[in-house]
């Protein structure tokens, strides 16, 4: 292997650090220093605890509630307040909690200083709605923060912005009868800041984890102020991105350049290919609730939790695993069992998680991987989920291997054999761990791994000639390709510049090192399609005709089957100025004029859900309850007029609707309805 080849891989990890948004590793900046322990830690404990642990998910006839019980069971404030004198968790032992977390291999703890119900687990000078007002009286944050320090854990706090108890917080819950007269959100913001000051000064959290930021009263400006307050109180404290309004729904990352916050926060999901260049943390429950629910027995098996931890680490993220302690102050038994099982796996294999970076490989058929690159030697950790028998094939390893061994049997070297760019590692017939066994592959210098190229075009279908480009994540290596369906070999054309397709074709590509294949083959099919013919209509309707519907939906209903509650006209698919209606749906119908045969791309941004149809065919489906989110779709259209329809609904909260369109390769513009003489491109 040439020395020159050893430089490629690490270029991927290091991008410049922007001043805003979840921070990007590798720039040697202040943010790198702040994030250092957190990136090393990789695994933490989330704790959701509060008054809601007392009902344990049950209220009247329903048993499915959790930490949201005051809202989901629609409990009036004075009734919910009756839980305060019932809070007496005599079994609470901060050391026992910290010990359980540390033994599981966790390195930090994040506990609810305050959840959406507003109740505080610390003795706040700003409110009586806190643990100091309960019979228990002890300051949970004080005890737990001290215990964490004793047990080698960083301590963090989850603090909800949304607050269903404070009189100045707005809006009220939609079902609530509590008066909002005299409520002053600016005063609430001062309360929030005062509590954050108390928490930071007293408990010195290493992480401040905000949440409940999605209601319309919380704005980017307020987020920025809160973020700056946190920085000024403790510049070394890490703040999550939910301090701001640009969190990007449950995916936890919007990519918005305006967003502040040190890390992205996917909730209950693991981003399929991680979030390259961004610090992120997936938080996840062990069953289906964050707060204690005595009836929820849908526990994820320990094996699944271990593999989730490995999966997250292999994608370069942190895993924040939740426990909802019971009202008596102890962890539920199933949680303790799972923490112990994870701990026993971590005792052997923790080295493959702590302090590691994302996998340098493409998807591996047998499992996952992480790495610890070094100048002299590097370690690749191969997490084998599916034991492949007696040999493990590691694809595209450019580095010179030194040795391999199992973390479970570090003194027994495993035989290594090179097969072209692949390595074969001899394995014992039986997996040392049925859930995940870790093979260490030690290589010389920084790891060099050849990855398959990526074949990209603006659209999978085309009408006019289509430009296809092939990107290599292993710069310096050659790419060869074919368009006739055969696998590229050493004689196939070298890729130099984008390929122009005029007919349907499968493009196949592969990385080569000289004449030797260094990666697998990737393939992508692009289809030439006939555009849907446009219509020539003498006098089509101008403007969009907009029908209004009313109802309480979580997804788009069939407006065609509902009575219209009024109508208006509009030039563009946007909401009228000042439109903020809730529990409402709109259907836009009109004509667009297409100048020439081509594939047209439509982007549909909406809050809540929306769907775009051309000639009755769904082109973009952005349905469901969500904050402002954009989706795209394409369709081949012929010159002339085409009927278009956009359905949109809002349940509650913020509203947004915008449609942009453009031919392949053109800048998408706001969609306008047909207007004679105007000859606007769609």
Residue numbers of the site for ligand H79 (CB under 6 A)?
A: 48, 67-68, 211, 214, 249-250, 267, 283, 290, 625-627
Task: Name 412's bridge partners.
Answer: none
Q: Give the nearer residue to ligand H79 in terms of CB position, either 211 or 296.
A: 211
Nearer to ligand H79, 262 or 433 (CB): 262
Task: Write the Ramachandran bin of 367: left for phi over 0, alpha for psi from -120 to 50, otherwise beta.
Answer: left
**Residue number with CB closer to ligand H79 (62 or 460):** 62
Distance CA 474, CA 220 (A): 39
Using the structure block, give the residue that is written with the tokens 């701990």. 343
Smallest distance, ligand H79 to C-beta of residue 628, A: 9
What is the C-alpha to C-alpha distance for residues 138 and 88, in angstroms, rounded to an integer? Answer: 10
Residue 241 Cβ vs ligand H79, minimum distance, rounded to whole Å: 12
**CB of 632 or CB of 656, closer to ligand H79:** 656
Give me the least distance between CB of 410 and ligand H79, in Å please: 38
Q: Which is nearer to ligand H79, 469 or 652 (CB)?
A: 652
**Do the Cβ atoms of 448 and 462 come closer than 8 Å?**
no
CB of 267 to ligand H79, least distance (A): 6
Nearer to ligand H79, 284 or 448 (CB): 284
Rounded to a whole number of angstroms, the distance between the first and last alpha carbons of the chain is 53
- Closest separation in Å from C-beta 613 to ligand H79: 25
Between the alpha carbon of residue 480 and those of residues 120, 380, 398, 470, the distances in Å are 61, 28, 18, 10
Return the number of other C-beta atoms located less than 10 Å from residue 303's C-beta.
17
The smaller minimum CB distance to ligand H79, of residues 626 and 656, is found at: 626
Nearest 10 degrees: Cα torsion 643, 649, 654, 655 = 20
C-alpha to C-alpha distance for 98 and 93, rounded to whole angstroms: 9
- Asked whether 408 and 380 are in contact (CB, 8 A), the reply is no
What gap in Å lies between CA 397 and CA 401, rounded to an integer?
8
CB of 112 to ligand H79, least distance (A): 7
* Minimum gap (Å) between residue 97 Cβ and ligand H79: 18
Nearer to ligand H79, 206 or 322 (CB): 322
Minimum Å distance from CB 285 to ligand H79? 8
Please choose, from the candidates 601, 602, 609, the residue with its C-alpha nearest in 3D space to the C-alpha of residue 651: 609
Question: For residue 672, what are the β-bridge partners?
Answer: 572
Cβ atoms of residues 38 and 139 within 8 Å? no
Give Cα 584 distance to the centre of its chain: 29
- The candidate with the shortest Cα–Cα distance to 239, out of 23, 50, 67, 41, is 23
Rank residues 8 and 290 by Cβ distance to ligand H79 and give the closer one: 290
Toward ligand H79, which CB reaches closer, 34 or 115?
A: 115
Shortest gap between Cβ of 252 and ligand H79 (angstroms)? 9
- Strands 377-384 vs 367-372: parallel, antiparallel or unpaired: antiparallel
Q: How far is the CB of 115 from ligand H79 (least distance, A)?
A: 6
User: On the CB side of 415, how many CA atoms lie within 13 Å of its CA?
Assistant: 6
The CB-of-248 to ligand H79 minimum distance in angstroms stands at 8
**CA–CA dist 44, 47 (Å, integer):** 10
Mapping DSSP to helix (H, G, I), strand (E, B) and coil, where does residue 223 land? helix
- Residues near 200 by Cβ (< 8 Å), separated by ≥ 6? 208, 230, 233, 234, 237
Beta bridge partners of 426: 391
| Residue with tokens 């090393």, as numbered in its chain | 40
Edge-to-edge, what's the strand order for the sheet holding 437-444?
Answer: 367-372, 377-384, 437-444, 401-406, 409-413
Q: Based on CB atoms, which residue is closest to ligand H79, 31 or 322?
A: 322
Closest separation between CB of residue 629 and ligand H79, Å?
8
Least separation in angstroms between CB 86 and ligand H79:
21
Nearer to ligand H79, 270 or 625 (CB): 625
Q: On the CB side of 661, how many CA atoms lie within 13 Å of its CA?
A: 27
Contact 498, 433 (CB under 8 A): no
When the beta carbons of 266 and 534 are compared against ligand H79, the nearer one is 266
């Amino acid at each position: 292997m040439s020395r020159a080849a050893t430089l490629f891989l690490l270029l991927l990890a290091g991008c410049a650090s922007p001043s805003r948004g979840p921070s990007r590793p590798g720039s040697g900046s202040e943010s790198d220093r702040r994030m250092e322990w957190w990136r090393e830690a990789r695994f933490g404990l989330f704790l959701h605890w509060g008054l809601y642990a007392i009902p344990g998910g049950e209220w009247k006839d329903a048993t499915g509630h959790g930490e949201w019980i005051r809202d989901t069971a629609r409990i009036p404030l004075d009734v919910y307040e009756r839980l305060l004198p019932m809070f007496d968790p005599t079994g609470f032992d901060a050391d026992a909690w910290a010990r359980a977390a540390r033994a599981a291999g966790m390195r930090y703890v994040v506990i609810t200083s305050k959840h959406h119900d507003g109740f505080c687990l610390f003795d706040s000078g700003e409110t009586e709605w806190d643990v100091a007002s309960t019979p228990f009286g002890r300051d949970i944050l004080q005890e737990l923060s001290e215990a964490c320090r004793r047990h080698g854990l960083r301590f963090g706090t989850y603090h909800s912005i949304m607050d269903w108890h404070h009189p100045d917080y707005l809006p009220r819950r939609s079902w609530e009868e509590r008066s909002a007269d005299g409520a002053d959100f600016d005063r609430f913001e001062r309360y929030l800041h005062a509590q954050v000051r108390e928490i930071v000064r007293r408990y010195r959290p290493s992480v401040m984890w905000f949440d409940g930021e999605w209601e319309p009263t919380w704005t980017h400006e307020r987020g920025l102020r809160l973020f700056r307050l946190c920085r000024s109180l403790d510049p070394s404290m890490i703040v999550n991105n939910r301090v701001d309004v640009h969190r990007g729904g449950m995916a936890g990352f919007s990519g918005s350049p305006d967003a502040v916050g040190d890390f992205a926060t996917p909730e209950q999901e693991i981003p399929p290919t991680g979030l390259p260049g961004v610090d992120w943390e997936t938080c996840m429950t062990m069953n289906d609730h964050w707060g204690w629910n005595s009836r929820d027995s849908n526990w994820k098996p320990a094996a699944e939790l271990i593999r989730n931890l490995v999966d997250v680490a292999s994608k370069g993220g942190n895993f924040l695993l939740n426990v909802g302690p019971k009202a008596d102050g102890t962890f539920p038994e199933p949680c303790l069992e799972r923490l112990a099982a994870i701990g026993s796996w971590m005792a052997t294999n923790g080295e493959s998680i702590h302090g590691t970076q994302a996998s340098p490989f493409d998807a591996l058929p047998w499992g996952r991987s992480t790495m610890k690159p070094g100048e002299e030697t590097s370690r690749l950790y191969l997490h084998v989920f599916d034991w492949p028998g007696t040999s493990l094939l590691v694809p595209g390893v450019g580095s010179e291997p030194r040795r391999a061994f199992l973390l479970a049997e570090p003194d027994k070297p495993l035989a290594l054999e090179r097969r072209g760019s692949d390595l074969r590692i001899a394995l014992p017939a039986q997996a040392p761990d049925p859930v995940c066994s870790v093979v260490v592959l030690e290589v010389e210098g920084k790891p060099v791994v050849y990855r398959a190229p990526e074949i990209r075009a603006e659209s999978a279908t085309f009408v006019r000639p289509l430009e296809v480009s092939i990107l290599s994540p292993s710069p310096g290596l050659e790419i060869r390709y074919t368009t006739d369906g055969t696998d590229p070999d050493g004689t196939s054309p070298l890729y130099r510049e984008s390929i122009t397709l005029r007919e349907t074709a499968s493009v196949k590509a592969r990385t080569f090192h000289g004449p030797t294949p260094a990666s697998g083959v990737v393939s992508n099919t692009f289809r030439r399609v006939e555009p849907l013919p446009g219509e020539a209509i003498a006098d089509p309707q101008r403007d969009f005709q907009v029908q209004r519907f009313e109802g309480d939906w979580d997804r788009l209903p069939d407006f065609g089957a509902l009575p219209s509650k009024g109508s208006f006209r509009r030039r563009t698919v946007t909401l009228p100025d000042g439109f903020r209606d809730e529990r409402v749906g709109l259907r836009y119908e009109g004509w667009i004029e297409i100048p020439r045969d081509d594939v047209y791309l439509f982007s549909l941004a909406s809050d809540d859900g929306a769907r775009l149809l051309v000639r009755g065919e769904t082109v973009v489906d952005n349905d469901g309850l969500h904050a402002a989110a954009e989706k795209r779709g394409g369709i081949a259209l012929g010159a002339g007029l085409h009927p278009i329809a956009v359905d949109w609904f809002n349940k509650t909260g913020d509203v947004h609707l915008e449609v942009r369109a453009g031919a392949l390769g053109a800048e998408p513009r706001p969609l306008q309805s047909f207007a004679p003489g105007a000859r606007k491109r769609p």
